[in-house]
Amino acid sequence: GENVEQHPSTLSVQEGDSAVIKCTYSDSASNYFPWYKQELGKGPQLIIDIRSNVGEKKDQRIAVTLNKTAKHFSLHITETQPEDSAVYFCAAADNYGQNFVFGPGTRLSVLP
């Protein structure tokens, strides 16, 4: 089955700096890669996603890149703000949702 690794497990950045979180996956059949943000006491919130026919996608301060050959994808957050502090999960799934697997998560702290 699919295995998703995520690094780093914790990340601290100064407000205004950029943050990058990287994930790798094992199943070449995976073709959908969402990123979720989970704040304390809340459910995961989809913040951006990418499909295998696209190499990069951007939404304001958030961007995701995908390298399908190398089986890795990354989340980039620019101009970080304290409200970006949360746990971020990457995930990978195939077209049938049979292998929707989360990475272990990254705890991002943005220091004012």
User: In this chain, which stretch among 12-20, 21-29, 30-38, 60-68 interacts with other proteins, using CB under 8 A?
Assistant: 30-38
Q: What is the CA radius of gyration of the chain?
A: 13
> Which residue from 3, 18, 67, 95 is in contact with other proteins, where contact means CB under 8 A?
95
SS3 label, residue 78: coil
- Does position 21 interact with other proteins (CB under 8 A)? The reply is no
Integer angstrom CA distances of residue 103 from 82, 85, 88: 23, 18, 9
Distance CA 22, CA 92 (A): 13
- Does position 36 interact with other proteins (CB under 8 A)? The reply is yes
Phi, psi of 83 (to 5 degrees): -70, -5
User: In this chain, which stretch among 15-23, 55-63, 65-73, 92-100 interacts with other proteins, using CB under 8 A?
Assistant: 92-100
> Which residue from 14, 40, 42, 112 is in contact with other proteins, where contact means CB under 8 A?
42
- Does position 49 interact with other proteins (CB under 8 A)? The reply is yes
| Amino acid (1-letter code) at residue 28 | S
